[in-house]
Chains A and B, each alone.
Chain A
Amino acid sequence: NAGVTQTPKFQVLKTGQSMTLQCAQDMNHNSMYWYRQDPGMGLRLIYYSASEGTTDKGEVPNGYNVSRLNKREFSLRLESAAPSQTSVYFCASMLATNTEAFFGQGTRLTVV
């Protein structure tokens, strides 16, 4: 059982480049999330998707776009990377509010 699979694990981008982080879950979860981890700030929500076909902004959506391609997959796109987007990104999924969330392995992104 793979759980939540997130790719890539590491990425270095130059300022202005674009990239897409991929996330897939095989647990038939309804909700999927993208977070970024910054020192002293815990996990901050970038975007979330409560169900297939819907997406909503979280706390820090600027500079990002998302796609909920189907129930399994939720991708995060950086159209024009900036050094402020250097962070560790986590994808997560959850069936319902009264069940636990599961996390991907994280993507360490550096923008130079």
Chain B
Amino acid sequence: ILNVEQSPQSLHVQEGDSTNFTCSFPSSNFYALHWYRWETAKSPEALFVMTLNGDEKKKGRISATLNTKEGYSYLYIKGSQPEDSATYLCAFPDGANNLFFGTGTRLTVIP
């Protein structure tokens, strides 16, 4: 069982604010790092799959960076909107294709 930690646990921001969260994972035996967006009463949906140290991915106002040597990834949201309210999960696969999730960061964007 691999330890995947996310912080903060929850976050409230005003509409238009930019924000970021952290995912920490074991820095040895790295295969990939996944980010998912999970809206209430729905299923998680993938945002990014990152595989290389220094990777930066972007989808609209959401972007992510990866540092495999120190074992962390940041997810950024620029100009938060109420529709960005969701729980953001990161996941770390091991060599046996087991997929471990962090506990998530619950984002609430206040209009």
Task: Give residues in A with beta carbon < 8 Å to B.
Answer: 30-31, 33, 35, 40-45, 48, 50, 56, 58-59, 90, 92, 94, 96-106
Q: Main secondary structure on chain B at its contact with chain A?
A: loop
Partner of A43, one of B1, B46, B93, B101: B101
Complex CA gap A13/B97 in Å reads 32
Q: How far is the CB of A66 from chain B (nearest CB, A)?
A: 14
Complex CA gap A90/B99 in Å reads 13
The A-B contact count (CB < 8 A) is 65
List residues of chain B with CB within 8 A of the CB of A56: 96, 98
Contact A98–B97 (Cβ < 8 Å): no
**What is the total number of residues of chain B having a CB less than 8 Å from a CB of chain A?**
24
Q: How far is the CB of B90 from chain A (nearest CB, A)?
A: 10
CB-based closest 9 A-B pairs: A100-B46, A42-B103, A103-B43, A97-B93, A97-B31, A43-B101, A31-B97, A50-B97, A97-B32
